[in-house]
Amino acid sequence: MRLWILLVVIAALIMVVMFILSNTPVNPIPDSSQQMIVVTTPSWTASKGIMQRYERCDAEANWVSVGPPAPVILGRNGLGWGRGLYQILEDSNPIKREGDGKSPAGVFRLGEAFGFPTVEEMGELKIPYRPVTDYLECVDDMESQYYTKLVETDKVELADWESSEHIYRSPNAYHYGVMVEHNTADTQKGAGSCIILHCVSVTGDSTAGCTTIDRAEMEKVIRWLNADAYPLLVQLPSPVYKRLQQDWKLPNF
């Protein structure tokens, strides 16, 4: 009888431990990352926030701010958990979906840059840079094999999409841009696509999901980013950022 009670107690303790572990945020920040852009908003529904750049020399060093903070404009409906380096918990809410007008929350690697200036005009950069042509598009058709990808239509065998973002048609907003790697690894249909860090539009309106900043600041970002430093975008509502700051070893912001 006592053995049976002991087994029940042990089983209960195991279940409690498993529950705690499953609900503990695992640090998604790679040790190899030495550059980070932090964007915070007042709430999940806010479409305006603040951006700050940070860098560190190694995983044991503290994050050091680079330049002053800058205002940003995000999705018209705020933020929703996106698909990046952070594994979304089952009870996470809200979740980023295609066409929902939300910018993705979480931790994301920053990919290649693009812009209307030529390679020669940009000079030496430390990240891949693609000059905008009349063929540059980002595919948001979830049925396409190129879903979430930045492509040049003159270089693909079959343009199998019916919907895309025509980069070349927006010379002001897309004068400079950096691809945010949301839903790019193990791509899930309908989870959102073509998330870009780019320049604020002429009207200064909120976006369909991208994060936008002043053109001069955007140029600074591109010239600062270094692909070898594994640059990240950490984008969260301020209350969530504060809650996760210690577990994720995030900068003081």
**Residue ranges covered by each domain of the chain:** 36-248
Q: Model-level pTM?
A: 0.89
Backbone angles phi, psi at 224, to 5 degrees: -85, -35
Residue 21 pLDDT: 41
pLDDT at 214: 97
Mean pLDDT, consecutive 10-residue stretches, the chain (253 aa), reads 56 44 71 98 98 97 98 98 88 92 98 98 98 98 98 95 97 98 96 98 94 98 99 98 97 92
Q: What is the predicted pLDDT for the residue at 7?
A: 53
Alpha helix stretches (DSSP H) within 42-195? 119-122
Helix (H, G, I), strand (E, B) or coil at 36: strand
Q: Could you give the CA distance from residue 205 to residue 200 in angstroms, rounded to a whole number?
A: 8
Q: How far apart are CA 91 and CA 84, in angstroms?
A: 17
HSE-CB at 164 with a 13 A cutoff on CA atoms is 23
- pLDDT at res. 16: 38
Q: What pLDDT shows up at residue 242?
A: 97
Three-state DSSP at 241 gives helix
* 167-222: pLDDT as tens digits: 999 999 999 999 999 999 999 999 999 999 999 998 889 999 999 999 999 999 99
Tokens of 191: 């989870």
How distant, in Å, are the alpha carbons of 93, 100, 142, 203 from that of 97? 11, 6, 11, 25
Q: How far apart are CA 120 and CA 75, in angstroms?
A: 33
The pLDDT score that the predictor gives to residue 45 is 98
CA distance 162 to 171: 22
